[in-house]
Amino acid sequence: MARRSGNGMRCLVIFSVVSALFVCGPALFWKFNKGFVVGYTLSSRNSICPPCEICDCPPPLSLLQIAPGCGSDDPELKEEMEKQFVDLLTEELKLQEAVADEHSRHMNVTLAEAKRVASQYQKEAEKCNAATEICESVRERAQALLLKERKITFLWERRALQLGWEGE
């Protein structure tokens, strides 16, 4: 189970990285690309990058703008569709983190229970081993006493035969 949990966390991390690259990748690419172009054109003074405050870029598109008409009947779906991609991905990551935390808590409880049961079985096994050792030592003593009794019986039988006993 620990392996499953590790695989789940690995998938979550990979999903997070891919999502972050999906969201931030185009902006980073644009920045690096623009930076390299500016680096080449800095030698010519007539093309200087304007300050960032004068940006007339359009605001990021919402899902409703990308897919018009989708969810126009359902107000909840329409509200969800108006959220930005980043908000949706952030919400999805938070949900997955909550699920992962719950799964981790469940695994910790299960592991603690398994350790408790294993400890209980270990104690029972130790009791059984101790009882088996006692039985084995008693059996060995009984076997030694039986061997001693047989020797004594054999001596008495031999004496009785020497004294004229005919046996059964």
On whether residue 79 sits in a domain, the answer given is yes
Query: Is residue 23 included in any domain, yes or no?
Result: yes
| pTM for the model | 0.36
What is the per-residue pLDDT for 21? 78
- The token pair at 19 is 């999502």
Residue numbers of the domain that contains 114: 2-41+64-125
Instruction: Give the separation between CA 72 and CA 124, rounded to whole angstroms.
Output: 66
Asked if residue 105 belongs to a domain, the reply is: yes
The model's pLDDT over 103-152, given as tens digits with 9 standing for 90+, comes to 999 999 999 999 999 999 999 999 999 999 999 999 999 999 999 999 99
3-state secondary structure of 83: coil
pLDDT of the residue at 159:
93
What 3-state DSSP class applies to 158? helix
Q: Do residues 61 and 68 touch, judged by C-beta distance below 8 A?
A: no
More confident residue, 1 or 100: 100
Residue 148: phi and psi, rounded to 5, are: -65, -45
Residue 99 inside a domain? The answer is: yes
- Distance separating alpha carbons of residues 93 and 18, to the nearest angstrom: 12
Q: Is position 161 within any domain?
A: no
Task: Provide the pLDDT for residue 3.
Answer: 56
Q: Are 112 and 105 in contact (CB under 8 A)?
A: no
Choose among 3, 11, 17: nearest CA to 100. 11
Reduced to 3 states (helix: H, G, I; strand: E, B; else coil), residue 163 is coil
As given in the structure block, the two tokens for residue 36 are 């390299």
When divided into structural domains, the chain yields a total of 1
Q: Are 65 and 85 in contact (CB under 8 A)?
A: no
114 within domain boundaries: yes
Report if residue 70 sits inside a domain: yes
Q: What is the pLDDT of residues 29-88, one digit of tens each?
A: 777 777 654 444 444 444 555 555 666 676 666 655 666 655 556 777 767 667 677 788
Whether 155 is in a domain gets the answer no
